Chain A
Amino acid sequence: MIVGERKPVESILAMLAPHGKVLLAGCGTCVTVCLAGGEKEVGVLAAALRLARQAEGKPLEVVEATIERQCEHEFVEELAAKLAGAEAILSLGCGAGVQTIAERYADLPVYPGLNTSFIGIPVKHGDWAERCAACGDCILDSTGGICPIARCSKSLLNGPCGGSAEGKCEVSEDTDCAWQLIFDRLKAQRRLELLAEVRPPKDWSRHRDGGPRRIVREDAAL
């Protein structure tokens, strides 16, 4: 899933300073699961914004609306019914959600209430970790199902650097060394020979480096 983190209330208040009424839009998919931008978080943030603006003597009217997915136009359409009088939209969706809303309601300022962090998983309650860098050229078949692009601090392709110590990355002792994990798993699977291969430079043109990406499939077109 896409994992995000809400911006500090102060930053959001600064963005909304010129406005008297806003629509606060939540998203029912990834950011609901990672407890950053679902219906519940919309309610909490709306209350905090109202209180803060009340205290400033400049009340803010906040209309709450959480839709199934902000990254699809058909769901974003539902917001139209709640927009009467709103001067702006504050989205608690990921970057794709914010932009879909901004595209549909191009006359209004649309603000991001989250920082979109990464594609990852909850490793335990309240702890999410990155797993995929969307590099466009998956190599998990040869790395024991552990991604060095997303999980090695240097995205190395040929094994751990000299900073791997006791299973941890040199960058942070809270971060597992991805290559130690890969080594351990391939060793357990008796497939260490995969690590002996010198992997050539990666084709980064399929990552963001190649420019904005797009997939067009005729078989899926209407």
Chain B
Amino acid sequence: MISGSRLERVLASGNFAVTSELGPPKSASAKGVTKHAAMLKDCSDGQNLTDNQTAIVRLSSIAAAVHVLAAGGDPIIQMTCRDRNRIALQSDLLGAASLGVKTVLCLTGDHQSFGNHGTAKNVFDLDSIQLIAAVKGLRDDKRFLCGEECKVEPKLFIGCAENPFADPFEFRVMRLEKKARAGADFVQTQAVFDVPRFAQWMEGVRSAGLHKRIHILGGVIPVKSAAALKYMATVPGMRIPAQLVKRMEGAADPEQEGVALCVEIIQQLRQIEGVAGVHIMAVYWETIVPEIVARAGLLPRP
């Protein structure tokens, strides 16, 4: 064990992993984080804390992680390259580890034009792959990016994201390979709605032997309505099959249909060779996660 994190233990033992996501609030109150952490800790092996997702200012992911730890959860801090240079990123890695965080997810970050501070200056001093390498260098070589020694290294389990549905499709396996080579231990994918397309990407992943080098968690999002699904179809890099929209439109109880769809996708992902777990992104609907995990037959957690 490198980090001793619960997610690392579950994946190392060969169990099908479940992670969840928790969006920190646009306020200085930790109440919601604490409440949701208590709900998610028994049905997921790690809880992602988003880092100013879609470039909207929120309570910091590292601070939120401390509240999750206090609630008995297993925080996965998301860290984007948008807002911090290599000095601040490395500083926050040390800080997070000192506070008990054991897992980090390295991301490039949504462009600030999507958020509520569109006139901000972005940073992107590093990209996500360089950030992965920076965490690995600190952890395994005890070296900062500049080469200087870090006496007490942050023992972090290193995650990354990949979008199998983005273009160029042919490059997506190569990109994951680069992330594995840079030092990522696990990957959480963009939400899967188009399972055949995901399976096609997984074929490429397997033929490159990547499923043996990096733990792959397929992303899923439970949707509450056809409108939500239609909106997602407009997000660059998302693929939503038209028949799923029709199915949601025809549902008598869209919320229950959304849960059923999510559970089905989890079960389909579980059948794909090389998929080591799922990542459930139910932001603004955290309360539904225990039900989804139970109905997918993934309780109790190991």
A-side residues, CB < 8 A to B, are: 153-168, 170-171, 177, 179-180, 183-184, 187, 192, 195-196, 198-202, 204
Q: Is the interface of A mostly helix, strand, loop or mixed?
A: loop
* A201-B86 in contact (CB<8A): yes
**Cβ of B177 < 8 Å from any Cβ of A?**
yes
Q: Contacts A153-B111, A163-B166, A198-B181 hold; do A168 and B236 have CB atoms under 8 A apart?
A: yes
B-side residues, CB < 8 A to A, are: 81-82, 86, 108-111, 113-114, 122, 124-130, 133-134, 145, 161-163, 166-168, 170-171, 174-175, 177-178, 181-182, 190, 236-237
20 A-B contacts, Cβ less than 8 Å apart?
A153-B113, A154-B82, A154-B109, A154-B122, A154-B124, A155-B124, A156-B108, A158-B178, A163-B166, A163-B237, A165-B237, A166-B167, A171-B111, A179-B168, A183-B171, A198-B129, A198-B181, A198-B182, A201-B125, A202-B125
* A201-B167 in contact (CB<8A): no
Q: Contacts A168-B236, A184-B168, A198-B133 hold; do A162 and B177 have CB atoms under 8 A apart?
A: no
Contacts of B175 in A (CB 8 A): 158-160
Measured between C-beta atoms, what is the minimum distance from B198 to chain A in Å? Answer: 14
Measured between C-beta atoms, what is the minimum distance from B216 to chain A in Å? Answer: 15
Contacts of A156 in B (CB 8 A): 108, 124, 127
Contacts of B163 in A (CB 8 A): 162-163
Contacts of B111 in A (CB 8 A): 153-154, 163, 170-171
Pick from A162, A165, A177, A196: contact of B178, CB below 8 A.
Answer: A196
* B130-A161 in contact (CB<8A): no
Contacts of B168 in A (CB 8 A): 160, 164, 179-180, 183-184
Measured between C-beta atoms, what is the minimum distance from B71 to chain A in Å? Answer: 30
Pick from B86, B167, B174, B177: contact of A164, CB below 8 A.
Answer: B167
Contacts of A196 in B (CB 8 A): 174, 177-178
Measured between C-beta atoms, what is the minimum distance from A136 to chain B in Å? Answer: 15
Contacts of A168 in B (CB 8 A): 236
Q: Specify which of A156, A168, A202 lies most central, judged by the most chain B CB atoms within 10 Å of its CB.
A: A156
Q: Contacts A165-B236, A171-B111, A198-B182 hold; do A158 and B130 have CB atoms under 8 A apart?
A: yes
* A162-B162 in contact (CB<8A): yes
* B178-A163 in contact (CB<8A): no
Question: Looking across the interface, which residue of chain B has its beta carbon closest to that of A173?
Answer: B236
Q: Contacts A177-B167, A198-B178 hold; do A162 and B130 have CB atoms under 8 A apart?
A: no
* A161-B86 in contact (CB<8A): no
Further contacts, 19 of them, CB under 8 A, given A162-B108, A183-B170: A153-B111, A154-B111, A154-B122, A154-B124, A158-B128, A160-B167, A161-B128, A162-B163, A164-B237, A165-B237, A167-B167, A180-B168, A196-B174, A198-B129, A198-B130, A198-B133, A199-B129, A200-B130, A201-B145
